[in-house]
Amino acid sequence: MTVLRIMPIVATDSVTEVRKFYSDLFELDAVMDHGWLVTLASGEATTPQVSIASEGGSGTPVPDLSIEVDDVDGVYRRANEIAARVVYELTDEPWGVRRFFVSDPTGKLLNVLTHLR
């Protein structure tokens, strides 16, 4: 058996608002749109992963989603430009990631990160 993909689903009464948030912040494109369900994608191949945690690290809560990007500074700037609610400022963590937390319109906590090289 092979897991082909893992897709988080964000529950909302406002699909349009949440779609705009993720599209604007992460430059994602709609690859499926049924109105009541929209799937956004980057077009990049990824490895399916599930993380299990008792804390978010550095005294933070466990985030609902972790989204790795190639330019966390650019996404952080975009988050501020669209007035997204940043709840943990851009930080270089001792375990080798640069990250920030932002809350989506539904209140989901997103850990946005880049691995330091």
In whole numbers, what is the pLDDT of the chain averaged over residues? 96
The more confident residue out of 28 and 117 is 28
Q: What is the pLDDT at residue 12?
A: 98
- Domains (range + CATH), the chain: 15-115 (3.10.180.10)
Distance CA 88, CA 111 (A): 9
Q: pTM for this structure?
A: 0.94
Encoded tokens for 42: 């980057």
Which of 109, 111, 110 has its CA nearest to residue 97? 111
Residue 16 CB partners (closer than 8 Å, separation 6+): none
pLDDT tens for 26-75 read: 999 999 999 999 999 999 988 999 999 999 999 999 999 999 999 999 99
Distance CA 16, CA 56 (A): 29
Q: What is the pLDDT at residue 117?
A: 87
